[in-house]
Structure 1
Amino acid sequence: MRRGISAVAMAAAIVLGATACGGSSDNKSTGDAAKDPAGVSGDITYWDTSDATNEAPVYQSLIKDFMAKYPKIKVKYVNVPFSDVENKFKTAAQSGKGAPDVVRADVGLIPEYASNHYIAPLDGTAALKDTGDFTQGPLNTTKYEGKTYGVPSVTDTLGLLYNKELFAKAGITKPPTTWDEFISVSKTIKDKTGVTGTYVNPDTYFLMPLLFGEGTDLADAAAKKITINSPEAVKAVTKAKEIYDTSSAKVDFASAYDNMQTSFKNGKVAMLIQGPWSVSDDISGSAFKGKESNLGYAPVPAGSTGKPQAPTGGHDLAVYQGSKNLDASYLFTEFMTSSASQVTIATKTGTLPTRTSAYTPAVTADPKIAGFKSIMDTARPRVALAQVGSLFTPLQQQYVKILQGQVSVQAGLDAAASEFATLLPGFTK
């Protein structure tokens, strides 16, 4: 998932990044991680952002296995709440004090961390091994300006989740493959069952499939052009507004996500655009509890391009550029993202692996993983800009106004584009 930061914080990050202590020449790798892994020694700290109750014990167990394999390396495990890690890591990296050697980073933050020299390029290091085994979507999230700054750990994307029983009652035999079909199916379900088609999530991360479906994004990095108010983006958001007006339950903008989840899992709406992280909650509701097979999985509907596409999410492991034990950090990163480790993580936590070889029969026995495995083929990364996280904030403000009818689609996106221009110097509109 993505998060944005303010323009002020972003400006501070850029200024401080130029003087961050992460690039010290005293911290270069000796190459021993590749030449003599067993001889590598040192103490490293790992910041993990996984769920402290249900997922962290799995990672802690793997760390014990790592230290058994490399007895000269000691790993200090720290679980940092996902909501806190971005600011904590940036503060530590900017000051050169207290940063972990390895951090579990949201994929959307890799470009920002790389541009500010907080994390080390990993090409040619022991951290990157068997890269051909990684699925392409997650691997693409690790790139910035031609270099690799992360190693894919777990992945996710958005898909279409639907209630099979409601579909059957409405006489619908397959999930919609286009947004127009999505609207039509919603109407049919409402007419035949009385149940509303969907619940629109007003968070702009969930708008990305509609933008991608029209062949556009927030901006074009190569052309240095802001595209959020392009004709393609206007078409995408116009369709989102149509879905909101014709097919959605009434949205409580103050508690949209929780109300969306409650509506779907209790059978009050038939479809959601959602990710695999929601499934454990979905199957706790009356519509799916004890009958998990009632939960259907499909790619997001396609727009005019004919291609269903949604953003690649998940987490990459990144190595702090100021680490005093780079070789140990590289070995740790490789071990924790290996196929064997990913099988362990997937079978015990239900998260999706990033390696093709990790999709073993034991892993795909999980209906959620099996359901999203093929959907991951439709995933694509967000535009690789250091400021990408901050772009969502002005877009969010305008998108809510558009959905509520306070501004037109074009006016709202033009306003967002003007805000983008202050965050993307040198970009044209």
Structure 2
Amino acid sequence: MRRGISIAAAVTVVALTASACGGSGSGSSGGPKDPADISGTITYWDTSDAATEAPTHKALVKQFEAKYPKIKVNYQNVPFTDIEQKFKSAAKSGKGAPDVVRTDVGLMAEYASLGYIAPLDGTAALRDVADFASVPMNTAKYQGKTYGVPSVTDTLGLLYNKKLLKEAGIAGPPSTWDEFIADAKTIKEKTGAYGTYLNPDSYFLLPLLYSNGADLADPSGKKIRINDDAAVKALTTAKKINDEASMKVDFANAYQNMQAAFKNGKVAMLIQGPWSVGDALTGSAYKGDEGNLGFAPVPAGAGGKAQAPTGGHNLTVYQGSRNLDAGYLFTQFMTSTKSQIAIAKGTGTLPTRKSAYTSEVTADAKIAGFQPILERTARVRVALPQVGSLFTPLAQNYVKILQGDESVKAGLDTTAEDFQKLLPGYSIG
């Protein structure tokens, strides 16, 4: 991951800006053009799952081309795991970058800081902005400008096995982490199933950090916060969950084992996202009995507030595109209410437009289950260009804490020192 703007990158940004100002249909007039006058070819890099989601996106591309016959879209499906390095390499060199790219919300600040994606305020890409849910819309902003248009969104919630909770005599899902731990113990005692399976990935630690008033860093004060008192409280709770409430974690294959145990009824509660629901419903605990799967917000912490990170994807336009207007128009089309409804129905992902939550869309149980969770608990991650890099040292030290190789405070102090190497000018504490 890049840590900042190097001299070479700065030169590249200047070159990209210059190239974006020339050529036919460049959008240099300062405002949206008449769509009928826009022509040319654009390349779109889509990161949706090639087998299960891409067909829906391809169908929308065909509809766009039918509506705007002067514009040709070169659709390319790029694996999610490859897109970051592939796009940054192409954008830095100025060769081979797409005109429009489906971007993980966690990469917005980095791409914007490097000048790789165009600000979209005042362009045709942004239409009916008030219709977007506020949290997904905020993932597209960096330093006061809008660099993307929200396409799909998600967050973490609490998935639970209703029958196991009922068998344990528990009336409903826990609302605090203390209740979560107590309920997990009761479930094990009364049913034999484990209460939960702690995911040791650092992204899944965020609900515990947020709900205890902690965060990774504070950009406004240029302070690293991962080892402050609130973070220590959050990690102490995570360690307690691991030691007292969780099925034994296989750190080498945690996600796969966690998911398998939950869908087959060996674990009663999980902190998970909507992407996992389809797989969960194939397990013996829910197949043929989908109503047994419950949805709830993540528990609240010491601060009394439940919060979880916002995920999902925004459509972004490459700053160096030679056909910006076509890219803006395509972005607008793919994020319209009609397109978002089609994507939700075709892929089961959650829309970002309020108007896209029609009765047809919310007939999908996971969309209906996660919509109120999004509205109640989702929050934007800290907008730092280096935010993606921070998860690596956090994950390494988090595992050491959970395994008992480091104390909570020592592990977080080490993490803070690692963060300081990635965040020049930031102080600890």
Shorter-chain TM-score bucket reads over 0.9
What aligned pairs does 1:2-401 form with structure 2 within 5 A after superposition? 5=1, 10-11=2-3, 14-20=6-12, 21-25=15-19, 26-27=21-22, 28-31=26-29, 34-377=32-375, 378-401=377-400
The structural deviation recorded for 1:31 is 4.3
Q: Hey, what does 2:410 align to over in structure 1? A: 411
Q: How far apart, CA to CA, are the structure 1 residues paired with 2:405 and 2:266? A: 27
Gapped runs of 5+ residues in structure 1? Answer: none
| Aligned 8 A contact 2:46 2:102 in 1 | yes
Q: Give the distance between the partners of 2:187 and 2:4, measured in 1 at CA.
A: 50
Letter in 2 for 1:408: S
CA deviation after TM superposition for structure 1 residue 13, in Å: 6.3
Give the match's secondary structure for 2:425. coil
Given the superposition, is the C-alpha separation of residues 14 and 389 from structure 1 closer, same or farther in structure 2, using an over 3 Å criterion? farther
CA contact (8 A) 2:148 2:314 kept: yes
CA-CA distance at 1:39 after TM superposition: 0.9
Amino acid in the other structure paired with 1:22: L
- Give the conservation status (yes or no) of the 8 Å contact 1:14–1:116: no
TM-score w.r.t. length of structure 2? 0.96
Q: Note if contact 1:33-1:330 (Cα within 8 Å) is conserved in structure 2.
A: no
CA distance in 1, matches of 2:17, 2:98: 14
Instruction: Flag the 1:189–1:396 CA change in 2: closer, same or farther, 3 A.
Output: same
AA at the equivalent of 1:289: K
What residue ranges of structure 2 are gaps of 5+ in the alignment?
Answer: none
Change (3 A) 1:376 1:14: farther
**Is contact 2:27-2:33 (8 Å) kept?**
no
Q: Which amino acid aligns with 2:303?
A: T
Quick one: distance in 1 between partners of 2:188 and 2:176? 18
Output the aligned Cα RMSD: 1.2
Give the share of equivalent positions with the same residue, in percent.
Answer: 67
Higher mean C-alpha displacement, 185-194 vs 14-23: 14-23
Tell me the alpha carbon deviations over residues 20-78 of structure 1, each in whole angstroms, 9 at most, x when there is no partner: 24322534514497231111111100000001011101111101111111111110000
CA offset at residue 213 of structure 1? 0.4
For residues 236 and 325 of structure 1, the distance between their equivalents in structure 2, rounded to whole angstroms, comes to 48
- 1:308-365 deviation per Cα after TM superposition (whole angstroms, max 9, x unaligned): 1000000000000000000000000000000110000001110000000000000000
Q: Distance in 1 between matches of 2:6 and 2:394?
A: 21
Shift of 1:215: 1.5
Distance in 2 between residues matched to 1:166 and 1:187, nearest whole Å: 12
1:91, 1:398 → 2: CA distance?
A: 30
Q: Is the 8 A contact 1:32 1:40 kept in 2?
A: no
3-state DSSP class of the match of 1:417?
helix
Distance 1:153 1:22 in 2: 25
Q: Distance in 2 between matches of 1:424 and 1:258?
A: 33
Q: Is the 8 A contact 1:22 1:320 kept in 2?
A: no
Of 21-30 and 341-350, deviating more is: 21-30
Give the partner amino acid of 1:209: P
Counterparts of 1:286 and 1:278, CA distance in 2: 15
